[in-house]
A and B are shown apart, each in its own frame.
Chain A
Amino acid sequence: MADNEYTEYVTAALPWLRRTAYLLCGDVHGADDVVQVAITRLYTNWRKARAADNLDAYVRAILVRAFLNERRRPWSRVRLFDRVDDLHTVANPDFETREEVRVALMRLTPGQRAVLVLRFLSDLPVAEVARALRCSEGTVKSQTSAGLTALRAQLGVTQ
């Protein structure tokens, strides 16, 4: 029964899990790896997760920590996880803009990237981002400011 509940929840959550991971990782293979690790951890902690006040927030925190943990492993940085899908060039201004922003985001530190993705693409308040990242709200605010400054520099945006 617990397996059925887990499967049902994860199947429904996979689109937003993969999207969040893709925004964090920048390539679909890295994103899938992070999601696979996260849903495996979720399975081993399913009883605790099910009892959480906000299951989605609980799972999002697992996902982001899986992403940050993978980035801390020295061999993953060398072999696999710093791969970013190439900047595609197509005759579509909207698509080109999106690719520019995506590649610029990948050049930020993993911590800054996580804060920006959670705040501005997952629309989470500062307090919830702090809980997901296990840091203070002040750290989230300073990482946000530093991340936006770096993103502006990458994009060549002056205002």
Chain B
Amino acid sequence: MSEEDGARLLGPLRDTDVPASDGVSVARAIRSGKRTKALRVMAAGAFVLIIAGVLPLVVRHAPDPVAARTFDPLVRTVSVGSVAGFRPLTYVTGRERQLVLLTPDSKSYESAHVMVNAPGAQGAPSGEPMPDINGRRALWTGTNVAVEWQHDAWAFVEVQGFPDDRDRARLLAESLRFDEHVQIKVPFTVETSWQLDGVRDTDGIIELVFANDVRVGRSGVSGPGLGRVPRTELDALEKSVRPADPPVTDPLR
């Protein structure tokens, strides 16, 4: 086995494009990291007090340092049309931003997504001016389109995989609606004290997304927070899932 063998065998993967998704959030990493740091400090302090014989203590979680958020996680306010060779596949609500993932009509590897930030969630982007879209200020940011959908609130449309990505991004941006106010109906309820951060709807398959990065749906739990949450809590959450027929607008018991 030579170096050349490996490079040749794996060569086709060099051009791999990663599909768009909403799964990574820098803001969420900072929030989780701050909580971890706070707990470390508290643990160190508790250890010192134990040594000094000063227990018992009342230990409380550090407050979440998150800035104000403006979206209701159980209300979808954004929609995008089936245009430019794409159709919306997944709608994700969130307190700071809402996301739409689109799937290509070609069923190939092209990708597109729309990220809509709440006011103040992200500063104004830099980019080239372009004509207003539906009366709203718009910019080219590379091949992406940025639209100021409210004062100090920006939406981003990104398309990858076509020779005319920019044209398709503009068409998608023109189809955006920001006033949908669709109350999400969830076909199950759960019992938890965790904070709901959003809802993911993929062709009618609903998952609740919590602030600790755990997701739960009818088929079980998932998400990057699994490794940080005690197994007993995950099991309890999973066991608390109850079907709701008809679906409910408040899934937390």
Q: A residues touching B (Cβ–Cβ < 8 Å)?
A: 3, 6-7, 10-11, 14-15, 18-19, 22-23, 28-29, 31-37, 39-44, 46, 69-70, 73, 75-76, 79-80, 88, 90, 92, 94-95, 97-98, 100-102, 105, 116-117, 119-121, 144-145, 148-149, 151-152, 155, 157
Contact = CB atoms under 8 A, between A and B. Distances in A.
A7 B10 CA distance: 32
A44 B33 contact: yes
A36 B225 CA distance: 9
A44 B37 contact: yes
A75 B1 contact: no
B35 to A, nearest CB: 10
Interface string B21-54: 1111110111011101100100000000000000
Contacts of A98: 12-13, 15-16
Given A36-B224, A95-B109, A102 B19 contact: no
Q: Nearest 9 A-B pairs (CB), nearest first? A: A32-B23, A43-B33, A36-B224, A33-B224, A39-B29, A98-B12, A120-B6, A40-B29, A120-B10
Contacts of B220: 79-80
Contact of B231 (A22, A35, A75): A75
A75 B226 contact: yes
A40 B32 contact: yes
A69 B5 CA distance: 29
Contacts of A28: 18-19, 21, 23
B10 A33 contact: no
Given A19-B16, A39-B29, A34 B224 contact: yes
Interface string B172-184: 0000000000000
B9 interface: yes
13 contacts: A7-B26, A18-B18, A19-B16, A31-B23, A33-B224, A40-B29, A40-B32, A42-B29, A75-B231, A98-B13, A98-B16, A120-B10, A152-B9
Contacts of A76: 226-227
B14 interface: yes
B107 interface: yes
The SS class assigned to the A binding surface is: helix
A39 B27 CA distance: 10
Interface residues of B, number: 42
B222 interface: yes
Interface of B: 1, 5-7, 9-10, 12-16, 18-19, 21-26, 28-30, 32-34, 36-37, 40, 106-109, 213, 220-224, 226-227, 231, 234
A148 B3 CA distance: 10
Nearest to A115: B6
B109 A29 contact: no
B224 A32 contact: yes
Contact of B13 (A29, A36, A70, A102): A102
Given A23-B13, A90-B107, A144 B6 contact: yes
A101 B33 contact: no
Contacts of A151: 9-10
B226 A101 contact: no
B24 A18 contact: yes
Given A28-B18, A28-B23, A43-B29, A79 B13 contact: no
A32 B101 CA distance: 14
Given A22-B18, A28-B18, 17 more contacts: A7-B30, A10-B29, A18-B18, A31-B18, A32-B23, A32-B24, A33-B223, A36-B24, A40-B224, A43-B30, A43-B34, A44-B36, A46-B33, A88-B107, A98-B13, A98-B16, A145-B1
